[in-house]
Amino acid sequence: MKKIVSFLIVLVTMYSCGVVTKGNDGENGTAGKPGLNGKKGADGISGNYSKTEKNVFIDSNTVRKHLYTLAADDMEGRKSGTAGIEKAAVYIENEYKKIGLSTFGDLTNYRQTLTFKNRRTKEDITSSNIIGVLEGKSKKDEIVIISAHYDHLGMKKSGEGDLIYNGANDDASGVTGLLVLAEYFKKVGNERTIVFAAFTAEEMGLIGSTHFGKGIDASKYVAGINLEMIGKTPSFGPNTAWLTGFDRSDFGKIIQKNLVGTGYQLFPDPYKKFNLFFRSDNASLARLGVPSHTFSTTPIDVDPDYHKLTDESETLNMTIITQTIQAVAKGTKSIINGTDTPTRVVIKE
């Protein structure tokens, strides 16, 4: 009997300490890698967790599913106004429903539909931002927005072989992070309200996020967390990411403080000449004063796949994406729970 009891105790202990990331990862990835600091914490980030975070995992199987679906050939490059981006919109909507997000403002569904002119062809395009909400508890009137753009470049008009701009890193990886974080915060809770926005027409000039910004009271938005191209190893090395507009508010310093001890580091954007702070959807809210910044991991100056037909899922590393999402969850936790409030952004173009 003692042997049986001892065996059961060992079995339960092994089960309760399951690793954080599961399944085979992408190219150069590592199967079953644990949390950021090497410990197998139930929050997927560190060895310590609260009761509400117990057994809440951010794992690479879910990351892989979202990424490979959004960057699949049948999405046809997700160009705004096409059948391909409509498939992506339906997928995101269905994930919001599964997670249990509510609709935004006075919308009757997750779609904020807009019509705009293509700046090149002058044709009218109708597309939608896909927006879901997790209402906060003690500070529901204070809002944090988590965003990523789900559109890309579509298809090459002629030629042989591969003609699809799949946009796996740009920005199916960011939308993957958006969906995983929505599921995570639904489970662990949030004091401030979180708006999850998958923006359309970023590639056409930040059109979806600009439209969104025109309809909000920016004073209620305390922070913007934008995810863009988080699937490759940064120039700073493994377990790092960089943040645009680092010196425009103290948002980045708050994230750095919260990541101390995790083994993950956040750095200021090293690519100043590219003016990246104004080239992703964070800019639409930053112009309104919201401390809205973009997380990225891609060495954009040497990336061979940026806006190329080669930007496919197989070129990305599931471990990098998973650990970056974990770091964003950990790094922004104090903002989402209302203990930290970033300073308003300073615009100096």
**Please, how many CA atoms are within 13 Å of residue 82, restricted to the half-sphere of its CB?**
18
Q: How far apart are CA 65 and CA 43, in angstroms?
A: 20
Tracing tokens 């609260």 back to the chain, one arrives at: 50
Q: Who's near 136: CB < 8 A, 6+ residues apart?
A: 142, 143, 190, 191, 192, 193, 194, 338
From edge to edge, which strands make up the β-sheet containing 265-268? 111-117, 124-134, 192-199, 139-149, 221-227, 292-296, 240-243, 265-268
Here the tokens at position 268 are 């200021």
Intervals of the chain under pLDDT 70: 1-55, 348-349
Question: 124: which 2 tokens?
Answer: 């009218």
Strand, helix or coil for residue 57: coil
Residue 2: which H helix or E strand, with range? helix 2-16
129: β partners: 112
pLDDT of residue 36: 57
Q: What is the pLDDT of residue 279?
A: 97
Contacts of 161 (CB under 8 A, 6+ apart): none
Side chain identity at 120, as an amino acid letter? R
- Mapped onto helix, strand or coil, the DSSP state of residue 267 is strand
Cβ atoms of 72 and 65 within 8 Å: the answer is: no
Supply the DSSP string of 115-145, one letter for each residue.
EEE-TTT--EEEEEEEEEEE--STEEEEEEE
What is the model's pTM?
0.87
For 144-202, what is each residue's pLDDT tens digit?
Answer: 999 999 999 999 999 889 999 999 999 999 999 999 999 999 999 999 999 999 999 99
CB 42 within 8 A of CB 19: no
Angle (nearest 5°) at CA 211 between 207 and 213: 115
The reply to whether omega before 43 is within 30° of 0 (cis) is no
| Most distant CA pair in the chain, distance | 79
Say if CB 319 and CB 330 are below 8 A apart: no
**CA neighbor of 320 nearest in space, from 303, 301, 299, 297:** 297
Q: Name 148's bridge partners.
A: 198
Q: Phi and psi (nearest 5°) for 345?
A: -75, 150
CA distance 150 to 189: 25
Which residue stretches of 17-162 are H helix?
60-70, 83-99
Q: Work out the burial of residue 290: count CB atoms within 10 Å of its CB; fewer than 13 is exposed, 13-18 middle, 19 or more buried.
A: buried
